[in-house]
Amino acid sequence: MSHTEKTPADPPTTMGIPPDAQQVSEVFVQLVDVVARLRSPSGCPWDRQQTLESIKPYTLEETYELLEAIDSGDDELIIEELGDVLLQVVLDAQIAADERRFDLIPVIERITEKLIRRHPHVFSDAHAETPEDVRRHWDHVKGKEKQRPSALSGIPPALPALAHTKKLSSKAAKVGFDWPRREMLFDKLREEIGELADELFPGGVVPDVPASVAGQVETDEPIGDAAQQSRIENELGDLLFVVANIARRWKIDPEQALRKSNAKFTARFRYIEDQLTKVGRDIRDATLDEMEALYQQGKAKENH
């Protein structure tokens, strides 16, 4: 191999090169103009009716659709969903401008200034060799910018619960409130499982019932006592909190991990449906044994 030939580990030479300034200006201005037109008196009644409050569910929906697109690895889909997220930013700013609150200019200026300010190792004379160094710089600058009453402040309450737990425990860990060794979390997990079992079963003894598809699916009896239901919810929440902390200590995103499991289950379940459809059967008419066999068949195909 010659000295000029790159190995697969070499970084791409195109990293960090911005798009053509004139082209990006033209397409961005066109997008801004289109959104403004939609909000104008001669535009779209639906768009004119929106407020920052009413548009929130769509912003959340588009964010999750982008995550799904990224998980799929489909570039065309990612492009489409990134565009939808960008639309939300431009539309929110246009709504605010129409309400005479602010426009898109300070939105862009603020984020640009923030990125420069929080990366002193790039735009100033600070030094950072590792992602941990970068995180320390970021947290230091952010701490000076935002004087918050608690080390736990600044977590968006609308975050999904698992993501909220990760943020919460990460902030606590930054000030030293964490288990000394991550393996200790499994002792805590066993403790929480035991406390949940105490609420679910007499004497806290979990019945020894091996996992199997044999037999009929039983109807689950509801919890009749409101106080007991509240205790069970508390214990189950504590258990999930520990699971999210295990993910954090092993540098795993619990939301991403659960999304992957959901996607796996969806693919395997659809495999069951597809295989039954091929032989002219409806999944509702299949036995549990048949569905389980097809589920395992679909699972096996994933590894080939």
Highest mean pLDDT of the ranges 29-33, 166-170, 258-262: 29-33
pLDDT digits (tens, 9 = 90+) for 38-96: 999 999 999 999 999 999 989 989 998 998 899 889 999 999 999 999 999 999 999 99
How many Cβ atoms are within 10 Å of 19's Cβ, its own excluded?
10
pLDDT digits (tens, 9 = 90+) for 184-215: 999 999 999 999 999 999 999 999 989 888 88
- CA–CA separation, 93 vs 110, rounded Å? 13
Q: Does domain 154-204+226-252 have CATH number 3.40.50.2000?
A: no
How many Cβ atoms are within 10 Å of 251's Cβ, its own excluded?
6
Cα torsion through 66, 68, 73, 77, rounded to 10: -50
In the chain, what are the domain boundaries?
21-144, 154-204+226-252, 257-302
- CA–CA separation, 142 vs 183, rounded Å? 31
What would be the CATH architecture of the domain defined by 21-144? Orthogonal Bundle (1.10)
How many Cβ atoms are within 10 Å of 112's Cβ, its own excluded?
10
Cβ neighbours for 75, distance < 8 A, ≥ 6 positions apart: none
